[in-house]
């Protein structure tokens, strides 16, 4: 299986630079013959942007030849309500502990909710009880890794608030092979949870603020 992992596109308007970045990424997915296109939060800059753009998104999220898995972030946390349709290719992981299974792989979602660290740990413990040890388990997550020494500006205009904070050690005893994360904008960042187990921030595929400089990246594996 081949997965393209991105996050934090923050689309505001049809055919703005962020929209065009999304279309470019979909084309990369086709060229790379991926099976799954995972967006780990903040596809939209605001929930009302999602409401306005949904008809346009339905078009580009159909007939791509791969699944598109959407996870809510802190900017679009209520955009994916039950019954909302975003395209024929779309799978919404907007409820905790829902998953999509592909042969020997399970992709799980931990969608963004305003919560303290202790509450995140409770959810991770519950998730750990559901993970199949005979499967490759991948978690999609949108929030803040406390181990990382990031500046607040690396997360965009988020101020001093904490966003579903976790530490690498929180995942050590869980049967998770990959944590595909979103929320961190500035650069691609990968950290090892254990042997052949990784936590990955792809960074924003387009600069959201002028201070976000450097080459933009995505994660394909």
Condensed to tens digits (0 to 9), the pLDDT of residues 34-92 reads 999 999 999 999 999 999 999 999 999 999 999 999 999 999 988 998 789 999 999 99
Q: State the pTM of this model.
A: 0.91
The sign of the CA dihedral 110, 115, 121, 125 is negative
The token pair that represents 127 in the structure block: 């998730």
Has residue 149 got a pLDDT over 80?
no
Alpha-carbon span 39 to 52, nearest angstrom: 19
The token pair that represents 124 in the structure block: 């991770």
Which pLDDT band holds residue 159 (cuts at 50, 70, 90)?
very low
Has residue 200 got a pLDDT over 80?
yes
Domains of the chain, first to last: 3-220 (3.60.21.10)
Least confidently predicted of 91-100, 176-185, 200-209 = 200-209
Helix (H) or strand (E) holding 56: helix 47-60
Q: What does pLDDT average to over the chain?
A: 92
Has residue 156 got a pLDDT over 60?
no
């Amino acid at each position: 299986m081949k997965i393209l992992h991105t996050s934090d596109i923050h689309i505001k308007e049809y055919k703005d630079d962020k929209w065009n970045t999304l279309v470019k990424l979909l084309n990369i997915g086709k060229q790379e013959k991926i099976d799954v296109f995972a967006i780990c939060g903040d596809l939209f800059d605001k929930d009302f942007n999602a409401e306005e753009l949904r008809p346009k998104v339905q078009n580009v999220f159909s007939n791509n030849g791969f699944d598109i898995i959407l996870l809510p972030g802190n900017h679009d946390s209520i955009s994916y309500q039950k019954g909302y349709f975003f395209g024929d290719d779309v799978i919404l992981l907007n409820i905790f502990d829902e998953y999509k299974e592909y042969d020997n792989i399970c992709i799980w979602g931990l969608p963004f909710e305003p919560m303290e660290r202790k509450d995140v740990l409770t959810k991770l413990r519950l998730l750990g009880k559901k993970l199949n040890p005979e499967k490759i388990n991948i978690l999609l997550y949108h929030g803040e890794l406390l181990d990382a020494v990031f500046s607040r500006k690396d997360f965009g205009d988020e101020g001093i608030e904490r966003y579903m904070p976790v530490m690498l050690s929180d995942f050590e005893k869980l049967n998770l092979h990959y944590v595909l994360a979103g929320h961190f904008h500035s650069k691609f960042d990968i950290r090892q949870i254990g042997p052949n187990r990784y936590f990955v921030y792809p960074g924003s595929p387009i600069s959201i603020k002028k201070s976000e400089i450097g080459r933009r990246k995505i994660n394909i594996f």
